[in-house]
Amino acid sequence: MYQNPSTHQEGASFKLHYGDMTDSSCLVKIIAQVRPTEIYNLAAQSHVKISFDLSEYTAEVDGVGTLRLLDAIRTCGLEKQVKFYQASTSELYGKVAETPQNEKTPFYPRSPYACAKMYGFWIVINYREAYDMFACNGILFNHESPRRGENFVTRKITRTVAKISLKQQEVLELGNLDSKRDWGHARDYVEAMWMMLQLEKPDDFVIATGETHSVREFVEESFKFIGKTIEWRGSGVDEIGVEKGTDVVRVKVNPKYFRPTEVDLLLGDASKAKSVFGWTPKVGFLDLVKDMMTADIELMKNNPRA
């Protein structure tokens, strides 16, 4: 089911239905028609910075939307047949109480997005306990791939660095270079979502790599991939990244990308997922950068306007 209306394709191995997380009756109709055995609730306004501008909408879709979907399952009388996956998030840890973060770490959300997801997290647990539903929270740390939206930091970096390598662009503008994330590959994380729903008993799990890297390191590794070394000069909003050997400015800080409240450091401990269903990530940080850079160079070569 999609958050926004999209096409309805006949004859494909999947079918897309029009749907909207703010419209209960359409959720009921789709579930009644499809009678699914598994539902993965990945629908969200998922951009943290945008959630400060669209705070009420984000609460509607990410928070109350989760409730609507759970209620739609009950309205269709399918609460004993459907297994439900909720895309919970490491953003719940926000201003972290401990490092690394695990399933027992207290939450301290730092954005309207994280506050909405906190409601989603708890309503899933409440419906699991109240109605004996098979409902799991996957507390996924950042997961990236060449399909990542272009306004998230990893993809913004790999797209721009790919354009710089092809001389289609000169400089990359970013916000906070020092924030640290536990970045994994989306392919590994989707497998973990599915594995959660194959368990005998529903539960909540952290999915993470157990490694953390700064935005600055992601930039450095992306430039390394195209054979350029970045040297940092200055500090704060005046910091720049210059290309070693040529002194061409390649990275600038633009405060418009700062958030009113930031999440400085995320690092997950996925040992529960490992011990309960044997999940470990296959793709490490450098291979993730490589995969995204390779795909974006190919994309920009074939379509410089992309």
Q: Which of residues 252-281 bind ligand G4F (CB under 6 A)?
A: 257, 259, 262-263
Tell me the H-state helices in the chain: 24-34, 48-53, 55-58, 65-75, 112-131, 153-165, 186-197, 215-225, 271-277, 285-302
Report the distance separating Cα 74 and Cα 34, nearest Å.
14
Task: Candidates 7, 151, 229, 261: give the one binding ligand G4F (CB under 6 A).
Answer: 151
The active-site residue, picked from 91, 144, 220, 221, is 91
Report the distance separating Cα 294 and Cα 283, nearest Å.
15
207 lines the binding site for ligand G4F (CB under 6 A)? no
Q: Which of residues 21-60 bind ligand G4F (CB under 6 A)?
A: 46, 48-49
The active-site residue, picked from 40, 58, 66, 89, is 89
Residue 279 phi/psi, 5° resolution?
A: -85, 130
Task: Candidates 24, 176, 214, 271: give the one binding ligand G4F (CB under 6 A).
Answer: 176
Catalytic residue check, 131: no
Which residues are CB-contacts of 271 (< 8 A; sequence separation ≥ 6)? 102
Binders of ligand G4F: how many residues, by CB under 6 A?
23
Catalytic residue check, 150: no
The neighbour count for residue 263, using CB atoms within 10 Å, is 23
- In angstroms, give the least distance from the CB of 48 to ligand G4F: 4
Catalytic residue check, 113: yes
181 lines the binding site for ligand G4F (CB under 6 A)? yes
> Tokens 């993965």 label which residue?
40
135 lines the binding site for ligand G4F (CB under 6 A)? no
Which residues are CB-contacts of 239 (< 8 A; sequence separation ≥ 6)? 177, 232, 233, 253
Which residue stretch of 32-40, 63-71, 171-179, 223-231 sits at the interface with ligand G4F (rule: CB under 6 A)?
171-179
Catalytic residues: 89, 91, 113
Binding site for ligand G4F (CB under 6 A): 46, 48-49, 89-91, 141-142, 151-154, 156, 174-176, 179, 181, 215, 257, 259, 262-263
